[in-house]
Chain A
Amino acid sequence: MLTYLDNNATTRVAPEVLAAMRPFLEDEYFNPSSAYESARGASDAIGAARRAVAAALGGVAADEVLFTSCATESLNAALFGAVRANAARRHVVTSAVEHPAVLEVCKDLARDGLEVEFLPVDRAGRIDPRALVRAVRPDTLIVALMHANNETGVVFPIADLARLTKEIDPSVLFLTDATQTMGKLPLDLTGELAAVDLLAFSGHKLHAPKGVGALFVRRGARVRPFMVGGHQESGRRAGTENVASIVALGTAVELAQRTHAADETRVRRLRDRLEEGLLARLPCVEVNGAGAERLPNTLNLSVHFIEGEGMLFELNRHGICASSGSACTSGSLEPSHVLRAMHVPFTAVHGSIRFSFSRYNADEDVDRVLAAFPDIVGGLRRLSPYWDPAHDRPRPEAEPMMRG
């Protein structure tokens, strides 16, 4: 029995979604661009999926929705496409805590000679709107800010930030990465989020399979196509459509619309139970993003004086899947750029652990973590040169380090 609490990394495919996509891997294998009658099913299914996504985004026009292969592609297409369509503007504003799909693209743009401003965040992971106002200049092309952070779940007030951007200069494009919020928070692009020009997300965070994503491009937003070489998606994203996965995405979005309200209440209760339970059982732990608005499904906890990989290893032995922002799990030797931007002290930045829930989690999952995790932390802290296991507290000389 596996306790899967890594839903910000990916989610399991919903049975309803799998059932909906299956025909397009079997009998309805046709190319939706083909002329014969048999191909009409595939073509119609893509249309239905597009309308489903458009409806979920607050009733935008269907032709404002492009299907892509993932959120990373959507974000690349938005940023590079905007740059190529607006040669006169050479300044980009983003934040220090974006997903690499934005951060690394922005760094690449800087290599091409654009100027990029990375807005800082505070200790709770929040952005200061005044910093955004000061950052936008007459030659600013685009502001790219994520809706919710994948590591901490901290939600940026995107509606306000997009409005503010347009107040300064209506021709500045506003892009938001909604990968962690699609299906979890309302995305009303004709109402509250009317100032957002570009919005990206992927399917596999909301129970569709990997390999499909979408990009909303508001009518009139100047963006050149990223993939060229075919008439698909009205020539704005060439390449034969991934029919089955697009159908899956449409179904997953509809499913999320239907179940969202009930899921949110349940998932939030599970997350809060885990959070309160762990805080009550463990000294010297802190919730990253505490004090900010956070996604209801995410708990990012820093355990002072131990390292994240050992925790993951031990959780794995207990059949619990989670993730960590520690250097040893990042593939680089640097710990999470998000936690460092939040100035999380070094005693805690290597000991971060993220539990992220989905609608498929239940109370038993929380019970299992609550039963296993305190002993795991205790075992690793006994080995730590900074911990006094006899009194279950930091050694006196290590204590000041916690304050960073």
Chain B
Amino acid sequence: MAWEYSEKTKQIFMDAVQGKPGTHLGEIEDADGFGEHGSIACGDALRFTFRVERHAADPLQDRIVEARYLTFGCTSAIAASEALCTLIESGGYSPVGALKITNHDIVEFLEGLPEQKIHCSVMGAEALEAAVFNWAQKRGVDLEALGIDLHAEDKEEGRIVCQCFTLSEPYIKRKIKELRLKTIAEITGAIKAGGACTSCHHKPGGLQDLLDEVWGRKATSFVPLPEFPAPRERAAAAGVAAATGRPVLSPFQFAKQVEQALDQYVRPQLRRDGGDLELVDVKDTSIFIQLKGACAGCPNSTQTMKLMVERTLKEMVDERIRVVAV
């Protein structure tokens, strides 16, 4: 792999790393707008802040005078963050006006980005939206009344299509439309969906189906490779006595395996975020769990965690497992 970045992208990155004057590294204290996108686990994360000159009477006439970022990510993620701040500061935008800046503007400013790096520009646009949303809350501006729908809620809601990056059907469909994405490669390039295990590419309700649904194309003639079965799934399938449909494992052994899988794969992840989980009961192949600590009572995390726990247990113990959050 050699870098296919434009000269401008490279220059912006180098200036940023060296902290040259005019670059926008940093975080504004008591910012008027604060937005984040991405996570360190996913490989890139952006914290974006801006300060406005407040208009005495009308918040809509606030003007962004300073924009700053902190970014964990690759060359183009850092360059895209710089581009975002430069575009905003030089435009003299109001926060609502700044929403006109799209990921395409960032790509254009950088004089192009490789296809698989488009998600870096999308990350910039998403962090900007989040920061404007934050500003609106602080200033008491009702964005919805202005006809602005920032979809802040739909990322976590709905069926998760890409398990690796936890991206939902409504979010992916919206991005397919907004960014005019026509192929799976373009989706992966723009929002990362399907970029890791690739299992969501061609399964029913997967990325190809979403593309077909949005653009109204007939299913392509592409024949996917048979899915690679995890060893435990097959073991479980083989270990079922055909007549009874019951696992060969004793209930004690089965529960023990569930407990081990939770300890090894699930609990360490939850604990990283200050959460935990209790195994309440095992009834046949239904697993009853309760989330603890920071994860308890958070409606988003309950759904996400249930899916994560279920997926892990299906993979590690038995594909028939069903997880019920208590």
Contact = CB atoms under 8 A, between A and B. Distances in A.
Interface string B100-129: 000000000000000011000000000000
A385 B74 contact: no
* Interface size class of chain B, counting residues whose CB lies under 8 Å from the partner chain: 35 or more
B13 A382 contact: no
A346 B196 contact: no
B200 to A, nearest CB: 13
Nearest to B77: A307
B282 interface: no
A317 B272 contact: no
Contacts of B19: 379, 382
Nearest to A378: B17
A142 to B, nearest CB: 15
B43 A333 contact: yes
A305 B40 CA distance: 8
Contact of B231 (A111, A117, A317, A350): A117
A307 B188 contact: no
A278 interface: no
Nearest to B14: A317
Interface in A319-374: 326-329, 331-335, 346-347, 350
Interface in A150-200: none
Interface in A362-404: 376, 379-380, 382-386, 400-401, 403-404
B222 interface: no
Given A334-B195, A334-B196, A310 B40 contact: no
Given A306-B72, A313-B13, A382-B25, A111 B225 contact: yes
Contact of B16 (A118, A307, A383): A383
A309 B192 CA distance: 17
A385 B70 contact: yes
B18 interface: yes
B-side interface mostly: mixed
* Interface size class of chain A, counting residues whose CB lies under 8 Å from the partner chain: 35 or more
B190 to A, nearest CB: 12
Given A333-B195, A335-B43, A384-B70, A313 B231 contact: no
Contacts of A376: 17
B17 A310 contact: yes
A326 B71 contact: no
Given A111-B228, A307-B74, A333-B196, A400 B272 contact: yes
B75 A333 contact: no
A107 interface: yes
- Per CB-CB distance, the 7 closest pairs between chain A and chain B, nearest first, are A333-B195, A328-B74, A385-B70, A309-B74, A379-B17, A346-B41, A327-B43
Interface of B: 1, 3, 10, 13-14, 16-19, 25, 27, 36, 40-41, 43-47, 69-75, 77-78, 116-117, 164-165, 188, 192, 195-197, 225-226, 228-229, 231, 234-235, 268, 272
